Amino acid sequence: MSEILLAGASGLIGSNLIKKFKQRNYKIVLLSTQKNKCDGIETLFWDPENGVFPDIDLNRFSACYNFCGAGIFDKNFTTERKLILTKSRIEPIEFLQENFKKQGVVIPYFISASASGYYPNICLNELKEDSTVGKGFISELVNTWEQAANNFKPQAENIAIVRIGIVLAKQGGFLEKLAAPMKFFAGAIPGSGKQICSWVHIDDLCELFIFLFENKIAGTFNGVAPKPESIANISHQVAQCIHRPILLPNIPVFMLRLIFGKERHELLLCDQNISSEKIEKLGFKFTYTNSEAAVKNLLQHG
């Protein structure tokens, strides 16, 4: 039985991925910075910032997954916050590598999360894995994040990176933020609403992460569904599912900038048509290929 090491798996993606691994009877060990949640068996305490690593034989593991990183949209992009966003992504990868090196272990697979923020915020062309990196803080952050993951190479036989799009899930993430004001008849579409959203259902994303390991695939891949959709259409699909009209006018760009600041507001206006062709050509099949089906599954049955 394969044993999997997961770092930073307490968030939306990691917690759902754990469930799927357990359904497949994989043995899992989690690395957590939250000491009160560590049982010393399945969840072990670590603290990359202060050099604390558990006493564990890293030879046990067939793969190591990395989801470490502070939430990008959680707080304003102050100088201090930008440093936190960067350190929280780079330090854990380097600390993991350091500990694998100490034990002389080369793990078969190192699989790391990344983000669609790698690409330009606004791009008229279809974006593929070999497309040019964007400009600005977010693109620079993601590019640095990926470089750190790729630098793990001496301690990993194979490295896979997934550039995650907008994740649709029952609880937490994009859908929850979109639906919450709608429930109180205060829903509104940001900007023109025409901007293209490259989304993915949480189940498909987790299956993609497992697919890479089980099929021994390395490389960089877009974690998005085959059919991107406009933010306006997704908003109306959500409104229909929760039986609420969108009564308010679209939120103008200047208002978004006032509320969220120069750099954060740009994330709400991303216009990215990101391709899933590369992973599909390798045999991965998405269950949810259009946003309407994904939204219905999550909101009507969730």
15-41 tens-digit pLDDT: 999 999 999 999 999 999 999 999 989
272-294 tens-digit pLDDT: 999 999 999 999 999 999 999 99
What percent of the chain clears pLDDT 70, i.e. is strictly above it? Answer: 99
Report in angstroms the alpha-carbon separations of 1 from 22, 25, 27, 33, 187: 12, 8, 7, 27, 48
Kindly tell me if the per-residue pLDDT of 136 is higher than 70. yes
Strands 196-197 and 166-168: unpaired
Q: What is the CATH number of the domain that holds 290?
A: 3.40.50.720
> 60: domain range?
3-300
Residue 259: predicted pLDDT: 77
Residue 301: predicted pLDDT: 59
3-state SS of 222-287 is EECCCCCEEHHHHHHHHHHHCCCCCCCCCECHHHHHHHHCHHHHHHHCCECCECCHHHHHCCCCCC
How many domains is the chain partitioned into structurally?
1
Task: Specify the DSSP class assigned to residue 25.
Answer: T
Average pLDDT over residues 256-265: 81
38-86 tens-digit pLDDT: 998 999 999 999 999 999 999 999 999 999 999 988 888 999 999 999 9
Average pLDDT over residues 87-102: 98
Residue 231: predicted pLDDT: 95
Mean pLDDT score of the chain? 94
Residue 73: predicted pLDDT: 84
172-206 tens-digit pLDDT: 888 888 898 999 889 999 999 999 999 999 999 99
209-244 tens-digit pLDDT: 999 999 999 999 999 999 999 999 999 999 999 999
Task: Specify the DSSP class assigned to residue 47.
Answer: B
